[in-house]
């Protein structure tokens, strides 16, 4: 199989535009979480979220979606894409703000309002011929889109793949998580003993995957490699993960086998780390099973940028590539009193790492789990 290189990592989050801004914000322990002004939160169990500055949701179905703003601000971070680029979109709700606006205004929504318009806009913006398709796998959407893109390249089905991930912090999504009692009344605290739930965020991320041969031929810098990938469903519950972490364990085991490395070669873990009671506990249980007493240093970024839904995995892969390049791991903002199983592994201060491989994991509603093994790229 061919090696899969990541040649571009473009990001937009509550910590600003570009991966460098995101990285510096994370290393400084900053948080983009603030009290929400985008909509009235008086009927919900939380008032906190991580919004991108100058992004607004549509108030009428005729208005552009907030995702239009994200696309416009992400696009300049990408180079011109070759004509044979394949497109994979990763979004859990697409232009949900336009659909919500239509219902609130008693208007008839446009057909296929959620994903087809977004796919068309991304195609047009980057001049792509490929029709593309959306991968909706809850909060593991962009993780599995990256896995799919890597598989296409590894098996010679594609030479270049654009994975474009974006989701809004919309009132529709916020109200749903509030109804599930999943939101924290305070900014989230991943892996902390006093965690009370997650904090929603929003983001856009665009990643260009390419065969290593093509990247070298075109003299492109390689930000990192995707060496292994795995996916598994624990089939346990509509929203709650299996307590024993069996789905995540299987996904990680597949990714390690695909990368042809032992668990001990992983130097760090970028965990899903939502700050919910059961998800964090499940991850720690899974990692104890996978790594035994030698769990590598771990961190999560959701205490800084919130849970960005379908864009979460791609955002975290960009951070993972940077962590391997710099051989540093950002702090886990909000984790002041780590769970016993996370002591010494999860910290609220930056730390050094030493190695070539990083494990990036995401889990989502419906029992879905995705894992990627990243390898250090050009320094």
Looking at the structure, tell me whether residues 198 and 298 fall in a common domain. no
Neighbours of 340 (CB within 10 A): 7
Looking at the structure, tell me whether residues 257 and 359 fall in a common domain. yes
Looking at the structure, tell me whether residues 112 and 201 fall in a common domain. yes
Residue 60 confidence (pLDDT): 84
Which domain CATH number covers 306? 3.40.47.10
Residue 183 confidence (pLDDT): 98
For residue 149, what are the domain limits?
A: 4-217
Looking at the structure, tell me whether residues 333 and 353 fall in a common domain. yes
Residue 109 confidence (pLDDT): 61
Residue 196 confidence (pLDDT): 97
Residue 37 confidence (pLDDT): 95
Looking at the structure, tell me whether residues 244 and 206 fall in a common domain. no
Looking at the structure, tell me whether residues 43 and 65 fall in a common domain. yes
Distance of CA 85 to the CA centre of its chain: 22
Where among 151, 183, 217 does a domain terminate?
217
Residue 112 confidence (pLDDT): 59
3-state SS assignment for residue 86:
strand
Per-residue burial over 301-311, b = 16 or more CB atoms within 10 Å of its CB, e = otherwise: bbbbbbbbbbb
Neighbours of 219 (CB within 10 A): 6
Q: Which residue has the tokens 């093509």?
A: 214
Where among 195, 217, 239 does a domain terminate?
217
Looking at the structure, tell me whether residues 182 and 233 fall in a common domain. no
Looking at the structure, tell me whether residues 207 and 305 fall in a common domain. no
Residue 79 confidence (pLDDT): 94
Distance CA 311, CA 90 (A): 7
The total of structural domains in the chain comes to: 2
Looking at the structure, tell me whether residues 18 and 134 fall in a common domain. yes
Residue 239 confidence (pLDDT): 83
Q: For every one of its 379 residues, what pLDDT tens digit does the chain have, with 9 covering 90 and above?
A: 899 999 999 999 999 999 999 999 999 999 999 999 999 999 999 999 999 999 999 888 788 899 999 999 999 999 999 999 999 999 999 999 988 888 887 766 665 567 888 999 999 999 999 999 999 999 999 999 999 999 999 999 999 999 999 999 999 999 999 999 999 999 999 999 999 999 999 999 999 999 999 999 999 999 999 999 999 999 988 888 889 999 999 999 999 999 999 999 999 999 999 999 999 999 999 999 999 988 999 999 999 999 999 999 999 999 999 999 999 999 999 999 999 999 999 999 999 999 999 999 999 998 999 999 999 999 7
Contacts of 74 (CB under 8 A, 6+ apart): 10, 11, 12, 166, 204, 205, 206
Distance CA 72, CA 327 (A): 32
Which DSSP string do the residues of 33-85 spell out, in sequence order? -EE--SS--TTSS--EEBPPTT----SSTTSPPHHHHHHHHHGGGSPPPPTT-
Q: Whole-model pTM? A: 0.97
Backbone φ and ψ for 75, nearest 5 degrees, come out as -55, -45
Looking at the structure, tell me whether residues 257 and 335 fall in a common domain. yes
Looking at the structure, tell me whether residues 188 and 268 fall in a common domain. no
Looking at the structure, tell me whether residues 231 and 144 fall in a common domain. no
**Can you point out the beta strands (E) in the chain?**
4-13, 16-17, 34-35, 48-49, 86-90, 133-135, 160-167, 203-211, 224-233, 266-270, 298-299, 328-329, 351-352, 357-364, 368-376
Distance CA 161, CA 216 (A): 16
Where among 184, 217, 250 does a domain terminate?
217
Residue 114 confidence (pLDDT): 75
Nearest alpha-carbon partner for 23 in 305, 369, 365? 305
């Amino acid at each position: 199989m061919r090696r899969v290189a990541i040649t571009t990592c473009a990001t937009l989050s509550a910590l600003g535009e570009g991966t460098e801004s995101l990285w510096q914000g994370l290393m400084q322990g900053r948080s983009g979480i603030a009290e929400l002004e985008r909509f009235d939160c008086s009927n919900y169990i939380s008032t906190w979220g991580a919004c991108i500055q100058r992004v607004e949701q549509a108030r009428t179905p005729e208005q552009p979606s907030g995702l239009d703003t994200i696309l416009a601000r992400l696009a300049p971070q990408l180079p011109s894409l070759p004509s044979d680029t394949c497109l994979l979109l990763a979004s859990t709700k697409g232009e949900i703000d336009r659909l919500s606006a239509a219902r609130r205004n008693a208007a008839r929504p446009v057909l296929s309002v959620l994903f087809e318009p977004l796919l068309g806009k991304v195609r047009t913006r980057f001049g792509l011929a490929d029709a593309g398709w959306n991968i909706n796998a809850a909060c593991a959407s962009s993780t599995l889109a990256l896995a799919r893109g890597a598989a296409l390249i590894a098996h010679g089905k594609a030479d270049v793949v654009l994975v474009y991930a974006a989701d809004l912090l919309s009132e529709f999504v916020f109200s749903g998580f509030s109804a599930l009692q999943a939101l924290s009344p305070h900014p989230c605290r991943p892996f902390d003993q006093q965690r009370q739930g997650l904090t929603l965020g929003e983001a856009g991320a665009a990643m260009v995957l390419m065969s290593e041969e093509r990247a070298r031929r075109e003299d492109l810098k390689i930000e990192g490699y995707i060496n292994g990938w795995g996916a598994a469903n624990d089939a346990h519950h509509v929203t709650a993960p299996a307590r024993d972490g069996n789905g995540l364990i299987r996904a990680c085991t597949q990714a390690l086998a695909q990368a042809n490395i032992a668990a001990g070669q992983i130097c760090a873990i970028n965990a899903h780390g939502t700050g919910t009671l059961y998800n964090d506990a499940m991850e720690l249980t899974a990692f104890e099973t996978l790594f035994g007493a030698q769990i590598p240093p771990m961190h999560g970024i959701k205490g800084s940028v919130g849970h960005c839904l379908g864009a979460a995995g791609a955002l975290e892969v960009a951070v993972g590539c940077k962590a391997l390049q710099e051989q540093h791991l950002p702090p886990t903002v909000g984790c002041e009193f780590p769970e016993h199983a996370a002591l010494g592994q999860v910290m609220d201060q930056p730390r050094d790492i030493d190695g070539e491989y990083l494990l990036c994991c995401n889990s989502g509603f419906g029992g879905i789990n995705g894992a990627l093994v990243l390898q250090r790229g050009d320094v």
